Amino acid sequence: MEVLRLSGIYGTIHEKEVEKEQGMAIVKLEQIIGKMKLENLTPELDISKIKITQPDINRPALQMAGYFEHFEATRLQIIGFVEYTYMQGLPEERKKEIYTKFLSCEIPAIVFCRELKPDDLFLQIAVENEVPLLMTKKATSGFMAEIIRWLNVMLAPCISVHGVLVDVYGEGVLITGESGIGKSEAALELIKRGHRLVTDDAVEIRKVSDDTLVGSAPDITKHFIELRGIGIVDVKTLFGVSSVKDTQNIDLVIRLEDWDKEKEYDRLGLEEEYTEYLGNKIVCHNIPIRPGRNLAIICESAAINHRQKKMGYNAAQELYRRVQESLTRKRDDDD
């Protein structure tokens, strides 16, 4: 077990245990059954200690044919209509041989799609080898796509950072900065303006692909905001379910810092600045804080401007083009 200390609102309550196995995140089989609404065909087996460590799955068609070289038994096994009909067509002696060899491997679980049910021999050998059998109503391809996508998120590399994540006009804005600088107050104002809170104080960031970072809240602080002088505020209860969101892609980072008159701040934005999480680069704006500045409007403007840039329009480049055209016209008039 690895212990992560999350800075912020709950002090010692933010000591969170994250289950890991040899440095890798894990998902309990019970979570998969609940999330995918699977039916357990072997309720007599204890599945509380069974864990999935990789997002890949396997359809054991080759194994049913007797080929076990390079077989990844640690993956979740999915049996669809093709594998099922092949299994049913095997002679009884061959069935027993293949079933025994297949189910003697250290398989975490086997899922039968399309409400297909294993025959009595398969069920008997599975129970003897303590291999859980599950069933879903979903089609094989659809179920595979859904569970791979979910496992990729759950088993993705994950870090926890101090900040606030808000969905602003569909853009995931991660607000960071020193403790007490005004991140939670800015988030609260954004919520009042119709935007949605993902998490306050502790942001769990998962790298689901080389281009995508997904942020979420630790279960213990979900939907809560800490306001100094007031205490803990339940955003979902105060502002309704439309004011919160469970997960959000991180598109933009806004770093709040105290105003330093000796420091030069970017006033045009011709060149983007970036920050990096888990090897992925995210556009980052450093915003100096002074009394009277409305952080919520600044965050909204940054989110809209970022969205415009993704759609191909850059206001700074447009201003630069106009200046160049004006200078060119002046030179032409002088000539």
Q: Residue for token digits 């088993």?
A: 155
**267 catalytically annotated:** yes
Q: Which of 101, 114, 162, 307 is catalytic?
A: 162
Query: CA 38 to CA 52: how far, in whole Å?
Result: 16
Alpha-carbon span 38 to 50, nearest angstrom: 15
Active-site option among 201, 206, 207, 285: 201
Active-site residue, from 70, 261, 267, 290: 267
Torsion of CA 41, 46, 49, 54, to 10 degrees: -20
Ordered alpha helix ranges (H), the chain = 29-36, 61-64, 81-88, 92-103, 120-128, 140-154, 183-192, 235-239, 295-310, 315-334
Active-site residue flag, 162:
yes
Determine contact, residues 306/283, Cβ cutoff 8 Å: yes
Q: What's the rounded Cα separation, in Å, for the pair 147 and 149?
A: 5
Cα-based torsion angle of the residue sequence 184, 248, 18, 24 in order, rounded to the nearest 10 degrees: -140
| N residues, the chain | 335
Which sequence positions are flagged as catalytic?
A: 162, 183, 201, 267
